[in-house]
Structure 1
Amino acid sequence: MTQDGERVAVEGDREDRISDLPRNVIDRILELLPVEDAARTSILSRKWRYIWAMLPSLVLGYRFCKSFKWEESPFNFKEAVDNILLMHMGDIVKFVLDTRALRLSLSAAIDRWMFYVTRNGVKELTLRVSSYHTYTLPSSIFNCSSLTKLTLFKCVFKPPNSFLGFQNLITLCLQGATFVPTTSFCVIKAPRLASLTLDSCNGTQYLNIVSPGLESLYVSNSQWQCYPLLNCLINCKSLTVLKLECHDVVNNPKPNEKTTLEKLLVSLPALEVLDLDSFFVELLSADVVPNGLPVTLNCLWHLLLNLDLGKMGLTSYVLQLIKNSPNLSKLEIRVDGTSDDAETVMKYLDMPSCLERPLNNLEHVAINFFKSSKAELLFVKLLLSSTPYLLSMCIRQWADIDVDIALELMRFRRASPRAELFYSQQKT
Structure 2
Amino acid sequence: MKQLLSTHIFSCVELERLALDNCCLRSPPTFCGLPNLLRLELYRVVYENISLGEIITRSPSLEILKFRQGEITLVDIAKLKNLKELVMPLYLLDHSAITSSLIVDLGTCLPNLQMLSLDFLDYQFLGDLVGTERVPASFPCLESLALYQIDFSCKTKLMFAFEFIRYSPKLQTLRISAKYNDAVPHSANFLSELNSIQLGLPQLRIVMLLNFRGSEEEILPIKKLLAGSPSLKKINIYPLSSKVFGSDNGKLMVATKLLKFHRASPSAEVEINWF
For Structure 1 versus Structure 2, the TM-score category normalised by the shorter chain is 0.7 to 0.9
| Pair 1:209-2:50 in alignment | no
The size of the alignment, in residue pairs, is 264
Q: Which residue of 2 aligns with 1:347?
A: 192
The alpha carbon displacement at 1:260 in A equals 6.1
Question: In the alignment, residue 84 of structure 2 is paired with which amino acid?
Answer: T
**Matched residues in 2 for 1:328 and 1:285: separation?**
27
- Displacement of 1:269: 0.7
Distance 1:167 1:241 in 2: 18
Which of 256, 267, 276 is the matching residue for 2:109? 267
Q: 1: distance between equivalents of 2:58 and 2:260?
A: 53
Q: How does 1:293-372 map to 2 (within 5 A)?
A: 293-294=135-136, 296-306=138-148, 307-337=150-180, 342=186, 343-349=188-194, 351=195, 353-355=196-198, 358-372=200-214
Deviation at 1:317, TM superposition (A): 2.3
Match of 2:5 among 102, 123, 137: 137
- Displacement of 1:280 in angstroms is 9.2
Note the 1:132-281 alignment, pairs <5 A: 134-144=2-12, 147-166=15-34, 169-181=37-49, 186=50, 203-204=51-52, 207=55, 209-221=57-69, 225-227=71-73, 230-246=74-90, 253-254=95-96, 256-258=97-99, 261-262=103-104, 264-278=106-120
Provide the residue aligned with 1:26 in structure 2: none
How far has the Cα of 1:212 moved from its partner?
Answer: 2.0
> Is 1:411 the equivalent of 2:260?
yes
CA distance in 2 between counterparts of 1:213 and 1:204 reads 15
Structure 1 position 421, deviation (Å): 1.1
Q: Percent identity?
A: 26
In structure 2, relative to structure 1, the CA distance for the partners of 1:416 and 1:334 (3 Å cut) is same
Q: Which has the higher contact order (CA 8 A, sep 6+)?
A: 2
User: What amino acid maps onto 1:348 in structure 2?
Assistant: E
**1 CA distance for matches of 2:114 and 2:103?**
16
- Structure 2 unaligned blocks of 5 or more: 246-250
**Given the two structures, how large is their TM-score scaled by the length of structure 2?**
0.79
What are the superposed Cα offsets for residues 9-35 of structure 1, whole Å, 9 maximum, x if unpaired? xxxxxxxxxxxxxxxxxxxxxxxxxxx
Q: What is the distance in 2 between the residues matched to 1:173 and 1:290?
A: 34
Moved more, 393-402 or 205-214: 205-214
Give the alignment of 1:68-107 within 5 angstroms: none
Residue 204 of structure 2 aligns to a residue in which SS?
coil
Q: Measure, in 1, the Cα distance between the counterparts of 2:228 and 2:9.
A: 53
Displacement after TM superposition at 1:262 (Å): 4.7
Amino acid at match of 2:270: L
1:380 deviates by: 1.6
Aligned equivalents of 1:273, 1:403: Cα separation in 2? 35
Q: Amino acid of the residue matched to residue 257 of structure 1? A: I
Inter-partner Cα distance in structure 2 for 1:263 and 1:280: 22
TM-score by length of 1: 0.54
- Distance change >3 Å, CA 166–CA 226, structure 1 → 2: closer
**Contact 1:338–1:375 (Cα < 8 Å) also in 2:** no
1:270 Cα deviation from its structure 2 partner = 0.9
| 1:52-96, Cα deviation, whole Å (9 max, x unpaired) | xxxxxxxxxxxxxxxxxxxxxxxxxxxxxxxxxxxxxxxxxxxxx
Q: Does the 8 Å contact 1:276/1:305 carry over to 2?
A: yes
Aligned partners of 2:33 and 2:159: how far apart in 1?
A: 44
What amino acid maps onto 1:410 in structure 2?
L
Q: 1:358 to 1:367 in 2, by over 3 A?
A: same
Return the alpha-carbon distance in structure 1 between the equivalents of residues 181 and 219 of structure 2: 11
Corresponding letter in the other structure for 1:412: F
Q: Deviations over 1:135-159 (max 9, x none)?
A: 4333444445665444333333222
Task: State how far apart, in whole Å, the 1-side matches of 2:152 and 2:57 are.
Answer: 36
The equivalent of 1:120 in structure 2 is: none
Name the amino acid aligned to 1:209: T
Q: Could you tell me whether the CA contact under 8 Å between 2:41 and 2:65 is conserved in 1?
A: no
Distance in 1, matches of 2:122 and 2:203, equals: 25
Partner of 1:425: 274
